[in-house]
Structure 1
Amino acid sequence: MGYEEVIHVLGDFGRYQKRIYFLLCLPAILCAFHKLANVFLIAEPHQRCRLPFETKDATYSINETLFPEYYPYDTINKKYSECEIIIDNKTEKCTEYIYDHSVYGYTTVIEWDLTCSKTYLVATGNALFMFGVMLGSIIFGQLSDRYGRKLIFFISLILQVTAGILASVAPEFWSFTFARMIIGSTTSGVFLVAYVIALEMVSANKRPIAGTVCQMFFSVGYMLTAVFAIYIDNWRTLQLALSLPGLCFLCYWWFIPESVRWLLSKNRLVEAKELIQRAAKENRVHVTDNVLDEMLISEIEKTDNPGKKESTVLDIFKYPKLRRRALIIFFDWFACNITYYGLSWSTNNLGGNPYINFVLSGLVEIPAYAFLIVVLNRWGRKRVQCGCMIVAGMALLSSLIISADQYFFIVLAAMVGKLAVTSAYGTIYIFSTEQFPTVIRNAGLGACSTCARVGSVLAPYINVLNKIWQPLPLVIFGIITLIGGVLSLLLPETLNKKLPETMEEGESFGQ
């Protein structure tokens, strides 16, 4: 008996759950706006040094015959330098730039000259945003466990909208970056908390599908970000337009209930039973209070008798086989995250139309998640995880044999890699959950999330390496993902297996 039994009585995914679930999926769109916005807010357009005889209002286009005379030729990337100029037969660094506004309009790079020797600031802006996401997952996760899912969701939402508005009026780069970092932290409070509420009210057998569909809403927001960017060509207006929709979700206070599981964990039985009865009424199920008390007795006993001291994630390292599996899982999370965000943020570097590239990068996630719904319970977690990471690695490494001017094939390789790594990312959530023993499962997932965020913090700096050699970021992502796929062969399959409860069972699991 327990809350799982209550869900079965109410209906594994009844009318009440479907309504709340749909409402909780919508904030994923908003969080996608913020997580991917930097692709356009900090987009680096083509630029050139302003020639000595040009005025400050000169346009980017000039007579091509002037390029050999004034700009050094980059033999590696096969184009004229955008950062240097030839004056009196001497090559010098640019002091003033003329930007191409035809693709991105007016970005932060143009406003604050974040190019050439300052390109690292673009990577730093993205890295600090993801550092904020990492801090938010720790801080808001703990706060939601302590003070409730609903309260922390709304606090995060208010902070997100406020920081979004402040970022749109930031006077210089560092205040803009700090505001964006706060936004990054709140995406954990908004998306992850909503995700947890949604999954905590459906039965165990529905959670893989519910979790995957929720990720699809994120992919929809991913693509819509490009639509906003196409029609709004000023970065300040774009930042504001992506932030204000958050105000719509404030009305959720009257529609979204607190998590019943959390209420039970805090021994708030009366409130939990009220919510269960509300759900039962909407699902047209009759459940008496006495029946509820019988079903929830085990939850009450767990609250009243917390038992012995909890194990920690550090206990993993006391067991050789469990330690080896955990390290592989940590690396897989790192590899999936660094590749996912590296590819998501590098669509501007692939050649061709960056908006189309970006939409395609989001669009391939839909079949990637649909693929998981079909095959995860048929082929097993291990085959899908290994196969997808190896396919992603091979696709990205194929950029080594593709000419730089073959935009179609470069984009194709990147999109195949993105599709495969998205499937791998979706799989690793479930696969790692089933690998860790129950006593440290939540702590293990927290460690996985931290390793993942380290990857997303490093991803922007790897993308900057395209200045040295165009395919280099794709090659690095390909190698990392391929290694992760091969290492995953050492993990035991978990499909239809009894999951380990204790550390000792975790050590012997899969033998």
Structure 2
Amino acid sequence: MDLEEAFQVVGEFGPYQKRTVAVLLLTQVYMACQSMLIVLVGSTPQFRIEQQEGAPLSQQELPQQVTFTEDIDSIVTEWFLIKQQAYKVSLAGSLFFAGLLVGNVIFGPLSDKIGRRPVYLIGLFFEVVFGYVTAFAPSYEVFALSRLLVGLMNGGIGLVCFVLTQEYVGKSYWAMTGTLTSMTFAVGIALFGALGYVIRPWRSLATAANSSGVLIFLLSVSLPESPRWLYSQGQTWRAEEVLRHMALRNGNAANKLMLRPVGVTKAGNHDDRGMGVLQLVIHPVLRLRTMVLMFVWYACSLVYYGLTLGAGAMSGNRYVNMAMYGLVELPAYPLCIYFINKHWAGRRKSMASFLWLGSALMFLSDLKLIKIGSRIAVRFQLVVFMPQHQR
């Protein structure tokens, strides 16, 4: 039998898969806290400079001349990242996302080569380690370097985590489990806003946000390797072993489960997969589609994170703003699952429709007609059909 037939025997989304996917979803909550950390720990309070007109203050003179008029504890107040040093807050955020980019590039192929589980566990372990370095950083330079390394791990495990939620279950549940990963990321954003409201000192907040990763790592140790990856690597017997274990934990009998050797179709012919991922570049149609989807992903991510990371700069309570940016996404995800699974809508038509609607709302926002409402609506549209939901 092939893999899909095996999952019919094992159970496409039985109790065991629900538990494994739940652990991966908790990882998304932890990752959201790390992604949004700079929004709260980098808050810039109101301040006044007790200096007469003249030459600009040096960094050494700032502690004596600057008074912060808001009761906020952040990296800005600790290291006086104001005036000429203010760029360092944005730099730390940019370093995180630079690491995120590199992590995606490195960890994806690495997980194809050595396996999903080891890459996921190693990445999660080091993200927790570097997260504590962030919390206890003795200087801005150490803080900034730790954010780069946390971003590196975050990008890698985020990609592998999403893939595992797909590869543990039958294909009829792909839309649901893939969407749930982004849904729990949004929940994580909202929870981080609430956590920041309760825990104000930035070091305590960074420690609390990072400590959940320890528990998640301990839960993740019991996760199996992806049976789909094992099968694709020709390790048929190991894939059968994992599938039998899943079946046993699901309460199904799978003693006679035998997978067809890799590369052989039902008719007994060999499956020629050609150049693999290189076809995305070589084949003209695939190349065009890949470029379009890459641009769509770039545009959606730019607006999505631009709105989220700007939560602290908006008027009103920064903690409520952050929580609302997470909560406003939640109604979008059931729509995502619904439209993806409908033959009359599907991925292409739905993505195009929501992108047009999102663009229109952004123009309204720029015209300041319904600025706050349109920002919320744009975010709602973006999360429905960002490319990660279309795998």
TM-score scaled by length of structure 1: 0.69
CA distance 1:308–1:325, shift in 2 (3 Å): closer
Q: Tell me which residue corresponds to 1:393.
A: 359
Query: Over aligned residue pairs, what C-alpha RMSD do you find?
Result: 2.4
Q: Within 2, Cα distance between the matches of 1:42 and 1:316?
A: 41
Check the 8 A contact 1:7/1:201 in 2, yes or no.
Answer: no
- The answer on 1:327 being equivalent to 2:286 is no
Q: Within 2, Cα distance between the matches of 1:24 and 1:400?
A: 38
| Aligned-partner SS, 1:229 | helix
Q: Within 2, Cα distance between the matches of 1:419 and 1:355?
A: 19
Check the 8 A contact 2:23/2:216 in 1, yes or no.
Answer: no
Q: Within 1, Cα distance between the matches of 2:177 and 2:273?
A: 33
TM-superposition CA deviations, 1:63-100 (whole Å, max 9, x none): xxxxxxxxxxxxxxxxxxxxxxxx3xx7x656643223
CA distance 1:308–1:416, shift in 2 (3 Å): closer
Of 243, 254, 260, 1:297 maps to: 260
CA distance 1:240–1:399, shift in 2 (3 Å): same
- The answer on 1:429 being equivalent to 2:362 is no
Identity of aligned residues (%): 27
Check the 8 A contact 2:263/2:271 in 1, yes or no.
Answer: no
Counterpart code for 1:429? Q
- The answer on 1:384 being equivalent to 2:343 is no
CA distance 1:366–1:165, shift in 2 (3 Å): same
Q: Within 1, Cα distance between the matches of 2:20 and 2:143?
A: 35
Q: CA deviation at 1:253?
A: 5.1
Q: Within 2, Cα distance between the matches of 1:232 and 1:252?
A: 26
Check the 8 A contact 1:49/1:94 in 2, yes or no.
Answer: no
| Aligned-partner SS, 1:48 | strand
Q: CA deviation at 1:284?
A: 2.6
CA distance 1:143–1:401, shift in 2 (3 Å): closer
CA distance 1:205–1:118, shift in 2 (3 Å): same
| Aligned-partner SS, 1:365 | coil
Q: CA deviation at 1:222?
A: 0.9
Q: Tell me which residue corresponds to 1:149.
A: 116
Q: Tell me which residue corresponds to 1:203.
A: 170
Of 322, 328, 349, 1:358 maps to: 322
Q: CA deviation at 1:418?
A: 1.2
Q: CA deviation at 1:300?
A: 6.4
TM-score scaled by length of structure 2: 0.88
Q: Within 2, Cα distance between the matches of 1:176 and 1:272?
A: 42
Q: CA deviation at 1:202?
A: 1.2
Check the 8 A contact 2:236/2:262 in 1, yes or no.
Answer: no
Q: CA deviation at 1:398?
A: 2.4
Check the 8 A contact 1:336/1:421 in 2, yes or no.
Answer: yes
Of 207, 230, 234, 2:201 maps to: 234
Q: Tell me which residue corresponds to 1:76.
A: none
Of 136, 157, 161, 1:190 maps to: 157
Of 57, 73, 94, 1:127 maps to: 94
Q: Tell me which residue corresponds to 2:5.
A: 5
Q: Tell me which residue corresponds to 2:372.
A: 411
Q: CA deviation at 1:199?
A: 1.0
Q: Within 2, Cα distance between the matches of 1:315 and 1:161?
A: 35
| Paired residues for 1:440-459 under 5 Å | none
CA distance 1:147–1:165, shift in 2 (3 Å): same
Q: Within 2, Cα distance between the matches of 1:263 and 1:44?
A: 49
| Aligned-partner SS, 2:341 | helix
Q: Within 1, Cα distance between the matches of 2:211 and 2:322?
A: 22
Q: CA deviation at 1:338?
A: 0.6
| Aligned-partner SS, 2:138 | coil
Check the 8 A contact 2:100/2:156 in 1, yes or no.
Answer: no
| Aligned-partner SS, 2:331 | helix
CA distance 1:383–1:46, shift in 2 (3 Å): farther
Check the 8 A contact 2:135/2:203 in 1, yes or no.
Answer: yes
CA distance 1:252–1:171, shift in 2 (3 Å): same
Counterpart code for 2:200? D
CA distance 1:119–1:398, shift in 2 (3 Å): farther
